[in-house]
Structure 1
């Protein structure tokens, strides 16, 4: 199945909310893409990320509570105690496994790489640990693009540093600059 639009996966953890706000505050209008935001969340605390992001973008922000078809011009937010994969242009929701370390970004990015190939874009923002490394590599290996928040602008630089060290992102910038650069890919 040929994909006609870009799908952008965004991964973040600690310090990710300010980075996400900066990203969406600077996102150019009329970007012909779908966005999927995966963050490390507490299993038992309902996320309000959709409400937070709604104040920083005119695009609809959707909590992904069940399987749903990806559409251009929408932001999909992975919710607490779940992981999301992309398959045949749909988001597929699964209960998060019992492991302590959350790997929701790798899970999302790996499936995005397989489904959207060169139309996949992975963005890593502030966070600790190394979630996103293997997924970013798969996106790159399948012809997609990887962009990373500059470690000196990240509240917690672990995730950006891990991806920079394990991959070759095409850009290492502040979140607002990453958002502005997306227009050049469309």
Structure 2
């Protein structure tokens, strides 16, 4: 796949909503990028994350209820009981497997790495467990970039800590500073 814009995968779990809102509060809306947000959700409860994020950005926020064409300048949000991958310019939505442990961030990040190589960017925010570590390693291996929330600023530090210890991301900062760094990163590549 060849793209003229960056695709940023964002993974979060427990404590992720405040981190996501801080990130989007500080992100300019005129960037050559789109955003795919994968969070750990209850299987049987409708997520309201799209409604929450709409209050913190001028960008359109889309609930991923079916396969969707990737477009620059949009935020795509995973919904309950699903996973999403990037393939041939599409976001492919599938029903989540029956495993107890949710690995939606790894699934998204691994597809970003394979499909987008050096224009794939992964961001890990607050959450428990280590979902995102395997995918972050794949993004780095394929030439992309990984940015991580500083565990001291995360409500639940385990997801960020696992990536910091296992992958050595290019930046470890607050969500606001990650947004600022992302602006510089995208400008350097124009």
Give the TM-score of the pair, scaled to structure 1: 0.99
8 Å CA contact retained: 2:113, 2:120: yes
8 Å CA contact retained: 2:19, 2:125: yes
Instruction: Please tell me the root mean square deviation across aligned C-alpha atoms, in Å.
Output: 0.6
**SS of corresponding position for 1:35:** strand
**SS of corresponding position for 1:76:** strand
Map of 1:118 onto structure 2: 118
Map of 1:152 onto structure 2: 152
- What per-residue deviation string (whole Å, max 9, x for no partner) do you get for residues 156-178 of structure 1? 00000000011010000000000
**Whole-angstrom distance in 1 between the partners of 2:3 and 2:142:** 13
**Whole-angstrom distance in 1 between the partners of 2:5 and 2:143:** 14
**SS of corresponding position for 2:169:** coil
- Runs of 4+ with >3 A deviation: none
Map of 2:12 onto structure 1: 12
In structure 2, runs of 5+ residues without a counterpart are: none
Instruction: Note the C-alpha offset of 1:2.
Output: 2.0
Map of 1:25 onto structure 2: 25
Map of 2:180 onto structure 1: 180
Q: How many residues align?
A: 186
Map of 2:108 onto structure 1: 108
After TM superposition, the structure 1 = structure 2 runs for residues 1-186 of structure 1, keeping only pairs within 5 Å, are 1-186=1-186
**Whole-angstrom distance in 1 between the partners of 2:121 and 2:69:** 18
Give the TM-score of the pair, scaled to structure 2: 0.97
**Whole-angstrom distance in 1 between the partners of 2:89 and 2:180:** 25
**Whole-angstrom distance in 2 between the partners of 1:9 and 1:154:** 18
**SS of corresponding position for 1:100:** coil
**Whole-angstrom distance in 2 between the partners of 1:16 and 1:2:** 30
8 Å CA contact retained: 2:34, 2:74: yes
